[in-house]
């Protein structure tokens, strides 16, 4: 049977808007195509295309929609057509666009989704096109690829496109039938684990009966954006749209099929008579859903229409939610408030969204009366010890309300207290004693915090402080009703150390020596008064002083400590420090001007009280003799180090900087005889030129004419003009040598040479 077929409508929204995933929606996907029969083979069409306008790097709506019209019947007949077999094609400019309003849920806040609708309206006669009735169908189509790669229920969604089109069958042509039009736009987002109720019905201008069902959507186009095939049937934007038949998208299988496209409890389904979609989605994600409409006239099927769209299932925040603070949450809507010894109970209201809460009511039935309040955070007075059940209502009596059950337990009073004692001048443990009292008849736990990072348990406890100071000590007690109370007191712990312990950085040293005295006595800190005497008249009041001994000798050190509350201890450390004599290192060297040519250096020791000498010449060479001689094989700056040893073993060091300069020497003879006898025929210099650069050798005659020039240090003048011209006459010539020495300083040597033949 021939029938009218409306191809897919797709709504693609970026999951990044509410699932926290960063996406780049490169393609426009979503839309539907409907028509009206105007008679005489003329039709008007409305193409609607949708895009996500709240994602990153999104494609815009096409300025021009490319429409293809084909004429054929059945898959076998249509399958013979190619893109160039188009009956006609239409380029339709974007007529209008708008932003689609997001759904308004009474008690839920859906994610902020942005959808833009583009509308393309065109009338065939305005393009000089007519579709005369006949025995072949007209297929009017628009294609785009691809769908969002985060779609949950189909395979390879980023490789799958859509076809928005319509088939005008011979029966529809004969009846001048109009396609059904869906009444509403699907919600841009639906809330997971919430009841779904969406009217997906359509209206039909001809009054035909419509039957609804879930079905598989149509594919269209290909994923390629290669310029060579972009507008072909394999490309992302077939221009014009390709001929039918169109393949179906492939669902993932199992429980996910075209007829059950998404999970739900109850399952999401469509009413065949009303088009009402109901259920409770239980999984978040993006789900493509296809809806088919069978159109009957007088009990006879005359056409079928297909439409597909995308349900985006996400978490939606409650608009109002009853919640208590400073309470035990038994469940999301059940709380327990415990008060110990206090009958005036203050309730902390953490309910949200505050802007949507217009009123609240607290209610606790007690006998024949009620304790009530309409304050946001009331303080309610209860009769006494006991259990009281009540409720918090938000927006009571409205369609957007919430509530929480509250159990108030008022127990007998609990008072936390303790005392402590210790010998203030001796570093012994502090003894803590609990004095807490519970009206419930028993205390179940004790938790001590001693203020120095240590903790304890028990009714009686002792604690040894390793540091002095003022400590905040807290005791938290709990009774059998789980009432808890905390008390905090200050404990001033400033005893004198039980023993003074001193550790110098060294006990034996060579004068002069800096000695660090580490005070290891406990407890002690900067608040204690400290007095040191170092045995040579030196003193200090620092806790850990550094002291310099300048003379040899054996010294006793004394230390006294007084705590902030007057506790005192002192000790003398007899013969603690032994300071021995040190040598005085010194040396000289000659000559002072040293070069790579004159590289012999004589070192002379000038040290005092030395018995051993160790030389480091700065070039990895070392010697152990008093007055060494050293030959430097390289140039540069060298640090000379002499370490000498005293008979006591003490050391001293002296250093000096020695510069070995690079030296070059260049000499020219004052005459030469270029007569080709093999003797003195070439005029050139001799010398040591290692490291010299920019060498230039020039010779002029008495008239100022240059007769020779060379940059090669090994090249000389053969007596001819520029070495390849006529022979120069006998006489005196001017010479000029220039170069840069190894350290980059310029050098010029001027002179005369006599040419004899």
- For residue 255, tell me if it sits in a domain: no
Number of structural domains found in the chain: 6
Counting every residue, how long is the chain? 757
Element (H, E) at 402: strand 402-411
- For residue 469, tell me if it sits in a domain: yes
Q: What is the pLDDT of residue 654?
A: 94
Task: Give the pLDDT band (50/70/90) at residue 460.
Answer: confident
Q: What is the pLDDT of residue 482?
A: 85
Spatial neighbors of 255 by CB under 8 A, at least 6 apart, are 263
CA distances from 16 to 111, 114, 223, 670 (A): 11, 11, 21, 93
- For residue 269, tell me if it sits in a domain: no
Q: What is the pLDDT of residue 301?
A: 84
Please confirm whether the linkage preceding 266 is cis (ω < 30° from 0).
Answer: yes
Task: Give the pLDDT band (50/70/90) at residue 123.
Answer: very high
Q: What is the pLDDT of residue 597?
A: 85
Residue where a domain stops, chosen among 661, 682, 708: 661
Task: Give the pLDDT band (50/70/90) at residue 28.
Answer: low
Q: What is the pLDDT of residue 27?
A: 60
Name the residue among 734, 735, 727 with its Cα closest to residue 757. Answer: 727
Asked if residues 701 and 728 have their Cβ atoms less than 8 Å apart, the reply is yes
Asked if residues 102 and 316 have their Cβ atoms less than 8 Å apart, the reply is no
- Read off the CATH number of the domain in which 737 is found: 2.60.40
pLDDT above 50 (res 1): no
Whether residue 34 is found in the same domain as residue 61? yes
Tens of pLDDT, residue by residue over 621-669, are 999 999 999 999 888 899 999 999 998 888 999 999 999 988 888 889 9
Whether residue 542 is found in the same domain as residue 514? yes
Checking DSSP bridges between strand 31-39 and strand 348-349, what pairing results, if any?
unpaired
Q: What is the pLDDT of residue 532?
A: 96
Residue where a domain stops, chosen among 314, 349, 368: 314
Residue where the block lists tokens 């001590």: 448
Q: In what order do the strands lie in the sheet with 460-463?
A: 418-421, 430-434, 460-463
- For residue 286, tell me if it sits in a domain: no
Spatial neighbors of 460 by CB under 8 A, at least 6 apart, are 431, 432, 433, 434
Task: Give the pLDDT band (50/70/90) at residue 407.
Answer: very high
Spatial neighbors of 550 by CB under 8 A, at least 6 apart, are 511, 512
Q: What is the pLDDT of residue 388?
A: 96
Radius of gyration of the chain (CA): 52
Tens of pLDDT, residue by residue over 409-454, are 999 999 999 999 988 888 889 999 999 998 887 899 999 999 999 9
Residue where a domain stops, chosen among 661, 688, 721: 661
Average pLDDT, the chain: 89
- Read off the CATH number of the domain in which 615 is found: 2.60.40.10
- For residue 10, tell me if it sits in a domain: yes
Whether residue 176 is found in the same domain as residue 30? yes
Whether residue 32 is found in the same domain as residue 121? yes
Task: Give the pLDDT band (50/70/90) at residue 461.
Answer: confident
Tens of pLDDT, residue by residue over 488-547, are 999 999 998 889 999 998 888 888 889 999 999 888 888 999 999 999 999 999 999 999
Name the residue among 103, 104, 293, 287 with its Cα closest to residue 201. Answer: 293
Tens of pLDDT, residue by residue over 606-624, are 999 999 999 999 999 999 9
Q: What percent of the chain has pLDDT over 90?
A: 66
Mean pLDDT, residues 120-135 = 96
Residue 5: Cβ within 10 Å count:
22
Name the residue range of residue 453's domain.
414-493
Q: What is the pLDDT of residue 216?
A: 92
Q: What percent of the chain has pLDDT over 70?
A: 96
Alpha-carbon torsion, ordered 383, 384, 388, 392, to 10 deg:
60
Tens of pLDDT, residue by residue over 151-188, are 899 999 888 888 999 999 999 999 999 999 999 888 88
Whether residue 21 is found in the same domain as residue 167? yes
CA distances from 434 to 440, 461, 537, 680 (A): 17, 9, 53, 117
- For residue 473, tell me if it sits in a domain: yes
- For residue 193, tell me if it sits in a domain: no
Asked if residues 152 and 111 have their Cβ atoms less than 8 Å apart, the reply is no
pLDDT above 60 (res 693): yes
- For residue 325, tell me if it sits in a domain: yes
Residue 29 burial (C-beta neighbours within 10 Å; 0-12, 13-18, 19+): buried
Q: Three-class SS of residue 112?
A: coil
Task: Give the pLDDT band (50/70/90) at residue 56.
Answer: low
pLDDT above 80 (res 332): yes
pLDDT above 60 (res 15): no
Whether residue 644 is found in the same domain as residue 509? no
Whether residue 173 is found in the same domain as residue 310? yes
Express the helix, strand and coil content of the chain in percent, nearest 5 each.
5, 50, 45
Asked if residues 742 and 635 have their Cβ atoms less than 8 Å apart, the reply is yes
Q: What is the pLDDT of residue 55?
A: 65
Whether residue 489 is found in the same domain as residue 506? no
CA distance 109 to 595: 89
pLDDT above 60 (res 8): no
Task: Give the pLDDT band (50/70/90) at residue 107.
Answer: confident
Whether residue 516 is found in the same domain as residue 465? no
pLDDT above 60 (res 14): no
Q: What is the pLDDT of residue 51?
A: 83
Spatial neighbors of 128 by CB under 8 A, at least 6 apart, are none
pLDDT above 50 (res 287): yes
Judged by average pLDDT, the poorest of 44-48, 126-130, 569-573, 577-581 is 577-581
Whether residue 555 is found in the same domain as residue 600? no
Judged by average pLDDT, the poorest of 112-126, 307-321, 609-623 is 307-321
Name the residue among 469, 491, 481, 503 with its Cα closest to residue 573. Answer: 503
How far does CA 395 lie from the centroid of its chain?
42
Mean pLDDT, residues 51-65 = 78
Residue 705 burial (C-beta neighbours within 10 Å; 0-12, 13-18, 19+): exposed
pLDDT above 60 (res 10): no
Whether residue 687 is found in the same domain as residue 740? yes
Q: Is the pTM of this model over 0.85?
A: no
Whether residue 398 is found in the same domain as residue 422? no
Residue 441: Cβ within 10 Å count:
9
Residue 662: Cβ within 10 Å count:
17
């Amino acid at each position: 049977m021939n029938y009218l077929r409306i191809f897919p409508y797709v709504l693609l929204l970026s999951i990044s808007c509410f699932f926290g995933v960063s996406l780049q929606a490169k393609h426009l996907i979503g839309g539907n195509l409907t028509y009206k029969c105007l008679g005489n083979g003329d039709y008007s069409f409305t193409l609607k295309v949708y895009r996500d306008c709240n994602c990153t790097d999104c494609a815009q709506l096409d300025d021009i929609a490319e429409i293809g019209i084909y004429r054929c019947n059945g898959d076998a007949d249509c399958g013979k057509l190619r893109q160039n077999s188009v009956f006609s094609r239409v380029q339709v400019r974007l007529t209008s666009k708008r932003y689609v309003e997001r759904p308004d849920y009474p008690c839920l806040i859906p994610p902020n989704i942005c959808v833009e609708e583009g509308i393309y309206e065109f009338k065939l006669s305005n393009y000089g096109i007519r579709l005369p009735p006949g025995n072949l169908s007209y297929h009017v189509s628009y294609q785009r690829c691809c769908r969002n790669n985060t779609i949950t229920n189909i395979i390879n969604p980023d490789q799958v496109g859509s076809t928005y089109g319509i088939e005008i069958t011979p029966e529809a042509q004969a009846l001048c039938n109009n396609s059904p039009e869906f009444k509403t736009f699907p919600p841009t987002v639906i809330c997971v684990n919430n009841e779904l109720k969406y009217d997906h019905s359509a209206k039909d201008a001809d009054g035909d009966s419509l039957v609804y069902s879930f079905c598989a959507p149509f594919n269209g186009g290909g994923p390629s954006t290669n310029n060579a095939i972009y507008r072909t049937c394999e490309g992302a934007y077939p221009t014009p749209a390709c001929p039918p038949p169109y393949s179906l998208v492939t669902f993932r299988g199992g429980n996910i099929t075209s007829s059950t496209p998404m999970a739900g409890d109850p399952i999401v389904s469509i009413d065949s008579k009303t088009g009402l979609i109901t259920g409770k989605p239980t999984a978040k994600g993006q789900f493509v859903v296809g809806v088919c409409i069978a159109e009957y006239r007088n009990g006879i099927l005359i056409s079928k229409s297909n439409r597909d769209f995308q349900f985006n299932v996400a978490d939606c925040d409650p608009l109002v939610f009853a919640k208590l603070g400073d309470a035990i949450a038994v469940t999301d809507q059940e709380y327990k408030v415990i008060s110990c010894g206090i009958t005036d109970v203050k309730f902390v209201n953490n309910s949200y969204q505050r802007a949507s809460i217009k009123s609240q009511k607290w209610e606790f039935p007690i006998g024949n009366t009620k304790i009530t309040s309409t304050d946001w955070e009331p303080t309610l007075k209860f009769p006494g010890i006991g259990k009281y059940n009540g409720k918090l209502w938000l927006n009571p009596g409205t369609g957007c309300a919430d509530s929480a059950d509250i159990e108030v337990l008022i127990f007998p009073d609990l008072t936390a207290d303790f005392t402590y004692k210790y010998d203030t001048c001796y570093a012994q443990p502090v003894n803590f004693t609990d004095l807490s009292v519970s009206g419930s008849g028993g205390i179940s736990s004790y938790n001590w915090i001693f203020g120095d990072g240590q903790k304890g348990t028990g009714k009686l406890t002792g604690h040894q402080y390793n540091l002095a100071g003022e400590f905040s000590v807290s005791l938290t007690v709990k009774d059998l009703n789980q009432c808890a109370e905390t008390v905090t007191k200050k404990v001033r712990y400033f005893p004198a150390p039980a023993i003074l312990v001193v550790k110098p950085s060294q006990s034996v040293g060579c004068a002069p020596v800096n000695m660090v005295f580490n005070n290891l006595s406990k407890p002690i800190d900067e608040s204690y008064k400290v007095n040191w005497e170092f045995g040579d008249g030196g003193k200090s009041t620092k806790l850990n002083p550094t002291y310099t001994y300048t003379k040899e000798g054996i010294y006793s050190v004394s230390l006294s400590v007084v705590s902030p509350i007057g506790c005192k201890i002192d000790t003398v450390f007899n013969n603690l420090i032994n300071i021995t004599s040190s040598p005085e290192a010194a040396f000289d060297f000659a000559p002072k001007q040293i070069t790579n040519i004159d590289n012999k250096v004589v070192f002379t020791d000038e040290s005092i009280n030395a018995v051993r000498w160790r030389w480091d010449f700065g070039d990895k060479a070392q010697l152990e003799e008093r007055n060494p001689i050293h030959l430097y094989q390289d140039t540069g700056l060298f640090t000379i180090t002499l370490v000498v040893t005293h008979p006591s073993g003490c050391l001293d060091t002296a250093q000096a900087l020695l510069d070995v300069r690079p030296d070059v020497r260049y000499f020219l003879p004052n005459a030469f005889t270029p007569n080709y006898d093999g003797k003195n025929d070439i005029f050139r210099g001799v010398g040591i030129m290692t490291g010299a650069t920019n060498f230039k050798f020039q010779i002029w005659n008495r008239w100022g004419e240059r007769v020779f020039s060379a940059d090669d240090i090994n090249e000389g003048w053969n007596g001819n003009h520029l070495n390849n011209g006529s022979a120069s006459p006998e006489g005196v010539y001017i010479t000029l040598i220039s170069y840069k020495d190894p350290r980059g300083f310029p050098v010029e040597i001027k002179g005369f040479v006599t040419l004899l033949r």
